[in-house]
Amino acid sequence: RVSNDGVVLVQVMEAAGRAAGGWRVQGHLAVLYSFVFWSQFKPSEPFLVDYLVDSKGFTNHEVFQLVFPLYVYARMPFNALVGVLSELPCCSARGVLVAGGVCSLATAILTRFTATLWFQQGAQFTVAATFASRYAVAAVAFALTPPAHFQRSIHTVRATLLLSNCCSALLGEVLRDETGIPLSVLFDIDLVSQSLALLSAFLLVVLSCTASLTPPPVLEAPMSRTWVSVAEVAEAAAAPPAPRTPSGCARAKASAKDLWLYFRLRCVVWWTVWAIAMNTTHGLALTYWQNLLREKGVRHDHNGYLSASMYLAAAVLTAASRQSSLLRGHTSALIVASLLSSGILLCMVVISTHQLAFYGWLLLFQCNFEVMTAVATYQAGAEVSEFCSVGVSYIAEVSWDATSRPKDQQRSQCGRLLSPCSARLTLLFSATGILSGASETVVQAAVSSTWRSMGPRFLCLGFGLGGLAILLVAARGLEELAAWRWRRRSSSSLGVGNGTQAANAILGSSPQVPLRPS
């Protein structure tokens, strides 16, 4: 028998342990938010073209034909490199962030202190590596956050990024217009902010190492523990003992297999299609919109205020939707609406004749992209995380029923239903980035060789998004048709009341048994 005081003491100590763990997670997330803020804090960004043309002496043709295209072409190989680094035992998602911080600081140094074409072209490679490393931010956020708070964490990360862009653009515009300081001072501020970002990335790694070296506290109580948690049973019975140091080939095969499983999930497939189309369009539009504005005859621009307004509006919308239940589902409807509206907005940007209208349509396009990027990251990452957790549960279930099932049946069910035990989100996001980079490279080469003017390029991108939206509507109709035929076939063959048996017979799998209490 155990006294009530002992039970209360155990409950209090467990609650204290959960509270301490929650504060530790919040501290790690705060450092991650700090890294995101400072890594994006670049007051010079809206004036990069002006700085290269007016201060460095490059021509408009050199900037848009010899410098900026290198960034587009370099993104794909660096995305692949980030995916490989995230799977190495000596590296992790946090290590990738440190490498990205180093590249970002190198970009600021090259842009500020070099004036030759070769060095400015080299800066495009370092900035491509910097942006590729940002795929690890979402992976770290998912790793630090409980599943119930995935949406809030991802939206907060995205809102922090957008708020940083807003503050930096506003600061740059005020310093240039109100105080009249040279643009080189803005790049000096970039050096400070990127140094702080690198410091935050190092702090993330230090906190991770400290947490891994610190053993969990042992709670002494006058009550002996007689139960075993489901997670411990699953971990103990997951698989036969594996070699302590798997070979590089084995790790590569496991990563490729898991990635293949991820891309078979419906939500991941839909959002991957959206990401390829929208990342391509958004990257090209944000690269060339300043040149399009110059073609319209606007010389006295307010690009800093525009950038600040775009990022502020997107940050507010992203933060406001961080707990929206509507954005947790309706995948196909959200994707079609986003693509169609983005295509229309790009066309409106081209046909607008006034500077204010130009800025307004571009602001709406930016808000659409940023909010839906947060939704895409959350939905795809949450589905992969849930898929992996279901795999762990099924391992435990098979091990408990091992004595009552034939070995062949156990093996066949494991082969069909078993999912990865760990979510390789950095690998997934970098693979999506590779596909987006390949698409952007192809589109960049196609539109550059066809049109020299910016207007037709933007119109082509807008019509392409509209056409893809129509194709996805047709694909959604085919999905509904296939589902209707499946329901009709199952009802006619096994009866309306046997929906579960019909599903198992058609899909070739056994019904999943609820986990037994330990």
The per-residue DSSP string of 242-282 comes to: PPSS--HHHHHHHHHHHHHHHTTSHHHHHHHHHHHHHHHHH
Location of structure tokens 């048996």: 501
pLDDT tens-digit profile of 249-287?
A: 777 788 888 888 888 888 899 999 999 999 989 988 887
Neighbour tally for 507: CB within 10 Å:
10
Does 508 reside within a domain? no
442: exposed, middle or buried (C-beta count within 10 Å: 0-12, 13-18, 19+)?
exposed
Does 270 reside within a domain? yes
The answer to whether 63 and 53 have CB atoms below 8 angstroms apart is yes
pLDDT tens-digit profile of 431-449?
A: 888 888 888 888 888 887 7
Q: Is 337 in a helix, a strand, or coil?
A: helix
Torsion angle (degrees, nearest 10) of CA 89, 94, 98, 100: 100
Number of domains in the chain: 1
What CATH number has the domain bearing residue 293?
1.20.1250.20
Give the residue numbers spanning the domain of 307.
20-213+232-237+249-491
Q: What is the pLDDT of residue 23?
A: 62
Q: Radius of gyration (Cα) for the chain, nearest Å?
A: 26
Q: What is the pLDDT of residue 17?
A: 47
The parts of the chain modelled with pLDDT lower than 50 are 1-2, 7-10, 12-17, 19-21, 213-240, 242-243, 392-419, 496-497, 499-518
Percent composition of the chain: helix, strand, coil (DSSP 3-state, to 5): 80, 0, 20
Does 14 reside within a domain? no
Does 145 reside within a domain? yes
CA distances from 354 to 250, 291, 343, 361 (A): 59, 15, 20, 11
Q: What is the pLDDT of residue 403?
A: 36
The Cα–Cα gap between 9 and 20 comes to 16
Does 57 reside within a domain? yes
The answer to whether 308 and 173 have CB atoms below 8 angstroms apart is yes
Does 243 reside within a domain? no
Angle (deg, nearest 10), helices 183-213 and 150-174: 150
Does 400 reside within a domain? yes
Location of structure tokens 């700090």: 34
Does 4 reside within a domain? no
Q: What is the pLDDT of residue 396?
A: 37
Contacts of 75 (CB under 8 A, 6+ apart): 128, 131, 132, 283, 433, 436, 437, 440, 441
pTM above 0.75, yes or no: no
- Diameter of the chain measured on Cα atoms: 86
Instruction: Provide long-range contacts, Cβ within 8 A and 24+ apart, for 476-480.
Output: 476/332, 476/336, 479/332
Read off φ and ψ for residue 436, nearest 5 degrees.
-65, -40
Neighbour tally for 354: CB within 10 Å:
10
